[in-house]
Amino acid sequence: MNATTEDRDESAQPATPARNAEELAMQRCKRCQLLYTANKSTSALKLTYCSFLCELGDLGFSMQGLEHMERVPKTAVATTEVVEVEEPEFSASGAII
Ligand SMILES: [Zn+2]
């Protein structure tokens, strides 16, 4: 048993440097290089594009559109699960033979 337990390294980390909330929220659009407020961006990628149009123009598609597209495979996954359930049964019957 050690009498000296020096676990005092948990010094409080200095808070993030105080900045203007607005300045902190300002982002530079990847496409049009304009400074914009992320909170007011209509893009799904608020930290990358100033607006939905810049996102659409740069990516060629919108993230919101992608999100909708991702919902379709989720249904397909449910169907795949049913197929996976059948697999063990198939291999089990194969083991009998
Ligand atoms: Zn832009």
Alpha carbon of 50 to ligand 1 centroid (Å)? 4
Segment 50-91, tens digit of pLDDT:
999 999 999 887 777 777 765 555 555 555 555 555 555 555
Residue 86 lies in a domain: no
Segment 11-54, tens digit of pLDDT:
665 655 556 666 666 899 999 999 999 889 999 999 999 999 99
Q: What global pTM score does this model have?
A: 0.44
| Cβ neighbours of 73 (radius 10 Å) | 10
Cα–Cα separations (whole angstroms), residue 27 to 34, 55, 57, 85, 92: 8, 14, 18, 48, 58
Alpha carbon of 18 to ligand 1 centroid (Å)? 27
Residue 36 lies in a domain: yes
Residues 54 and 62: beta-carbon distance below 8 Å: no
Residue 83 lies in a domain: no
Cα–Cα separations (whole angstroms), residue 75 to 10, 15, 70, 80, 86: 47, 45, 9, 9, 18
Alpha carbon of 61 to ligand 1 centroid (Å)? 15
Domain count of the fold of the chain: 1
Domain extent, residue 29, equals: 24-70
Q: What is the pLDDT of residue 62?
A: 78
Residue 96 lies in a domain: no
Residue 79 lies in a domain: no
Residue 35 lies in a domain: yes
Alpha carbon of 38 to ligand 1 centroid (Å)? 11
Residue 75 lies in a domain: no
Alpha carbon of 72 to ligand 1 centroid (Å)? 30
Alpha carbon of 10 to ligand 1 centroid (Å)? 43
Q: Mention every residue, 6+ apart, whose C-beta is less than 8 A from residue 57.
A: 31
Residue 11 lies in a domain: no
